[in-house]
Structure 1
Amino acid sequence: MARKLKTFQTSLGFFDLAIAAPSMKAALEAWGANSNLFHQGAAKESDDPDVIAAAMKKPGVVLRRPVGSNRSFSEQAELPSDLGGDRRSTNAPRKSKSQIAKKPSSRLVDKTAERKAALAYEREERRRESERAREEAARQRERERRQQAVDKAQAALDKAEQEHAKRAAAIQAEVEALARRSQTEDDRWNKERERLEAALQRARS
């Protein structure tokens, strides 16, 4: 059964945001908020019929309007025209709830529209989930590609190190063999020299 939707509002950066969602948690996730704006008093459930009607037409979609304005909410909104200036000098101050006349109740969303909006919200949620799944799959493929590249480079390094160790061991064996041959030659020469020197000594005497 489709969950009943409510309309929530907040202000982030240069925009007022609105969304039709089944819960505050769902609204916070859609807004990308990393803290509970409702507990902080920075977000609320809207009772403005115009805002509710706009949100229910696009359930699950974050709608925007320039912060502090009374314009209609839409998916794409222009930046406020008074950036850097004194907003109080260019925009009329917001009216308090007590100053705003209640809109006719006939404009509130009826039960049929609520059900349609809830179903549309679930479709939007499934679309977002599918998009997130595709993005995660792409990230996973990229991680696997990088890991394969790392594994290949590591294997090449390991193979080169093993080859170097074999060559170094062979060279060391040759060095040790030459050292033994050199020592053998020194021993032979020492004996030969002693014999020849002795012969020379006998010849002189």
Structure 2
Amino acid sequence: MPKKPTRKPTRKLKTYQTSLGFYDQAVAAPSMKAALEAWGASSNLFHQGAAKETDDPDIVAATMASPGVVLRRPVGSDGPFTEHAALPTDLADDDAKPKRKSRAKSRSKPGKRAAKSAREQPREIDREQARKAAAAFEKEERRREAERRKQETARARERAHREKAVATAQAALDKAMREHEARAEEIEAARAALDQRAEAEQSRWDKQRAKLAEAVRRARE
């Protein structure tokens, strides 16, 4: 009896949250490492205390609807996470910082009440939804990997084109240098021949002049 094909086990997704620049960011990913890669973080934000796993039902629902896609909202706000978030509207100078801090502090209590309410009435994500979310995350991962390969191919093509241009220019320079050296050798050889002719001519003239001068002297006697 033929064996049924085994299905690849679905990776369970979790929701991770951090704050980078002007935005709070959240993503559904199977691990902290995958979340850091999705954020493009160059350091471990989790070890630094700048990132965490969250069970906020609204954030979890938003990220699970678009697994692997980084969602954002203005930093310090309690609005919904979206793929294209606007910049914070309350960016202010140093004088306004205490006010912004107080607003953030005043928002903390409703957040705690919401978290408490979420723990009392958790939204359960069924297995089918989790499977679809994981499949969508893997699809997004494949898309990002394909994009990375495309960029690497483009960079390799550009590098090869540049190296070919450099090699062509270097070959032209080497050829011109060889031609110059050959012509310089010809000129040097011609100069040496002229020097020899000049020396021979000077020697001939010296002898002729001495002979003629002797003839003039004898004629005067």
Interval of TM-score (by shorter of Structure 1 and Structure 2): over 0.9
Matches within 5 A, 1:43-122: 43-84=51-92, 85=96, 86-88=99-101, 92-95=106-109, 99=113, 100-103=115-118, 104-105=121-122, 107-122=123-138
Task: State which drifts further: 86-95 or 15-24.
Answer: 86-95
- Please give the per-residue CA displacement for 1:131-183, whole angstroms capped at 9, x wherever unaligned: 11111111111111111111111111111111111111111111111000000
2: CA distance, partners of 1:88 / 1:48? 22
Matched, 1:8 2:22: no
SS of residue matched to 2:28: strand
SS of residue matched to 1:101: helix
- In structure 2, the CA distance between the partners of 1:137 and 1:122, relative to structure 1 (3 Å rule), is same
Q: Would you say the 8 A contact 1:2–1:122 is kept in 2?
A: no
Higher helix residue share: 2
Number of the residue aligned with 1:164: 180
Number of the residue aligned with 2:6: none
2: CA distance, partners of 1:74 / 1:97? 19
2: CA distance, partners of 1:196 / 1:58? 113
Q: Would you say the 8 A contact 1:18–1:63 is kept in 2?
A: yes
2: CA distance, partners of 1:54 / 1:141? 39
1: CA distance, partners of 2:213 / 2:185? 41
SS of residue matched to 1:109: coil
Identity of aligned residues (%): 58
Normalization by structure 1: what TM-score?
Answer: 0.94
- In structure 2, the CA distance between the partners of 1:95 and 1:42, relative to structure 1 (3 Å rule), is farther
Task: Report the residue type matching 1:152 in the other structure.
Answer: T
Q: Would you say the 8 A contact 1:60–1:121 is kept in 2?
A: yes
- Please give the per-residue CA displacement for 1:19-69, whole angstroms capped at 9, x wherever unaligned: 001111111111111111101111000111111111011111000011111
Normalization by structure 2: what TM-score?
Answer: 0.87
Number of the residue aligned with 1:184: 200
Task: Report the residue type matching 2:71 in the other structure.
Answer: L
2: CA distance, partners of 1:29 / 1:82? 29
- Please give the per-residue CA displacement for 1:103-149, whole angstroms capped at 9, x wherever unaligned: 222x2322211111111111000000001111111111111111111
1: CA distance, partners of 2:66 / 2:207? 106
Stretches of structure 1 lacking an aligned partner (at least 5 in a row): none
Task: State which drifts further: 183-192 or 81-90.
Answer: 81-90
Q: CA RMSD in A?
A: 1.6
Task: Report the residue type matching 2:60 in the other structure.
Answer: I
